[in-house]
Amino acid sequence: MTADLEAIVTDVAAMMRGAQERGSVASYIPELAKVDASQFGLAVATADGRVVTGGDADTGFSIQSISKVFALTLALGKVGDQLWDRVGREPSGTAFNSIVQLEHEHGIPRNPFINAGAIVVTDINLGGHQPRVAIGEILRFLHYLAGDDDIAINEAVAASETASGFRNMALANYMRAFDNVRHDVDLVLGAYFHQCAIEMSCRQLALAGRYLMLDGRHPGGGRVVSPRRARRINALMLTCGHYDASGDFAFRVGIPGKSGVGGGIMAVVPGRASIAVWSPGLNASGNSHLGTLALEELARRTGWAGFSPP
Ligand code: DON
């Protein structure tokens, strides 16, 4: 499979490089609108310890909502299943930044991957500290997971979202009214915007996702989370990782995945591979257009799609 995997990754990267339709870069965060849409990267970290890459796999990009997976892992480590008193576990069927459900559902967001849910998760991670403490913690967590201390925040992206994140401000204030955001809204959003502005390459992201491929184990030894927690995070990525397009992603790609508006997607094939793909152009649901196509092709050609037996 490994020799084949190299050929498949090279082929998929070549296909995506030549694609005509590339989607549109996110424009609601002005700094992301400047990114060159012609880029494409792919990295696959395998359970047997290899990393196979194609295209711009070492170029850094804004991980945005993919950070929500790592933030959720940290928050579950702090408060355990009590987290689910404040955040649901159902697909939302609405856009990532939607506010409509919050009123009907009394300020409890549908899941931890829509913006409202991720803001509550950040509120938990703040734990009475200043944003820089929570931000330092998530960065150190990523350094440990990826084995790479160069992962850092793009301050221009964080500043750009801080200046333009009016919907997130509305969501956070709304949930504060229900006491589901408990810190000062500016502190929570400061931590949230910086977490989203973390920059990683596909290689770094595929390496960071390995604990979800390995049933919660760190590939260097030791445990990041229990097997049950790793499996549940994967379940949430499958059902909620692509917002109102999660059903379509599960149907087409058939593996758990989490997207970000920077154009990245992290995907996990339990026991086999941790995958990161990046192409900045998005589809109408705010998920990478070519990233989704590339994962569909990769999963089909490797046989990893849709709960295939080993
Ligand atoms: O809060 C936001 O709107 C962005 N920082 C993250 C949104 C995002 O990545 C949605 N994913 N596709």
Domain carrying residue 127: 1-310
Spacing, Cα 296 to ligand 1 middle (Å): 22
Mean per-residue pLDDT of the chain: 96
Nearest CA to ligand 1 atom 1: 115
Nearest CA to ligand 1 atom 12: 260
pLDDT in tens, 89-120: 999 988 888 899 899 999 999 999 999 999 99
Torsion angles phi and psi, residue 108, rounded to 5:
-100, 110
pLDDT in tens, 174-227: 999 999 999 999 999 999 999 999 999 999 999 999 999 999 999 999 999 999
Q: Give, as one character, the DSSP assignment of residue 202.
A: H
The pLDDT, as a whole number, for residue 3 is 55
pLDDT in tens, 37-74: 999 999 999 999 999 999 999 999 999 999 999 999 99
Q: Which of 27, 96, 278 to mutate to test the pocket of ligand 1 (most atoms within 8 A of CB)?
A: 96
The catalytic residues are: 65, 68, 192, 243, 261
* CA-angle at 194, arms to 64 and 79, nearest 5°: 90
The pLDDT, as a whole number, for residue 1 is 52
Residues 207 and 148: beta-carbon distance below 8 Å: yes
Torsion angles phi and psi, residue 123, rounded to 5:
-60, -40
Instruction: Answer left, alpha or beta for residue 64, where phi above 0 means left and psi between -120 and 50 means alpha.
Output: left
User: Is the pTM of the predicted complex or chain greater than 0.75?
Assistant: yes
- Of 127, 286, 242, 108, the closest CA to residue 191 belongs to 127
Spacing, Cα 126 to ligand 1 middle (Å): 19
Protein residues with CB under 6 Å of any ligand 1 atom: 64-65, 96-97, 115, 161, 168, 196, 259-261, 286-287
CA 123: distance to chain centroid?
A: 18
The pLDDT, as a whole number, for residue 148 is 98
Distance CA 89, CA 110 (A): 6
Nearest CA to ligand 1 atom 11: 260
The pLDDT, as a whole number, for residue 308 is 73
Q: For residue 259, give the ligand 1 atom closest to its CA.
A: 12
pLDDT in tens, 251-302: 999 999 999 999 999 999 999 999 999 999 999 989 999 999 999 999 999 9
- Of 27-31, 60-64, 153-157, the least confident: 27-31
pLDDT at residue 161 greater than cutoff 70 = yes
pLDDT at residue 310 greater than cutoff 90 = no
Residues 26 and 32: beta-carbon distance below 8 Å: yes
Residues 230 and 212: beta-carbon distance below 8 Å: yes
Residues for the chain: how many in total?
Answer: 310
Residue 240 CB neighbour total at 10 angstroms: 24
Nearest CA to ligand 1 atom 2: 115
Distance CA 266, CA 262 (A): 12
Spacing, Cα 18 to ligand 1 middle (Å): 27
With cut-offs at 50, 70 and 90, classify the pLDDT of residue 155: very high
Q: For residue 286, give the ligand 1 atom closest to its CA.
A: 12
Spacing, Cα 98 to ligand 1 middle (Å): 11
Spacing, Cα 49 to ligand 1 middle (Å): 31
Q: For residue 242, give the ligand 1 atom closest to its CA.
A: 12
Total domain count for the chain? 1
Beta-carbon contacts of 2 under 8 Å, excluding residues fewer than 6 positions away, are: 46, 48, 50, 52
The CATH number assigned to the domain holding 47 equals 3.40.710.10
pLDDT in tens, 75-95: 999 999 999 999 999 999 888
pLDDT at residue 307 greater than cutoff 80 = no
Distance CA 99, CA 105 (A): 11
Strand partners of residue 199: 62, 152
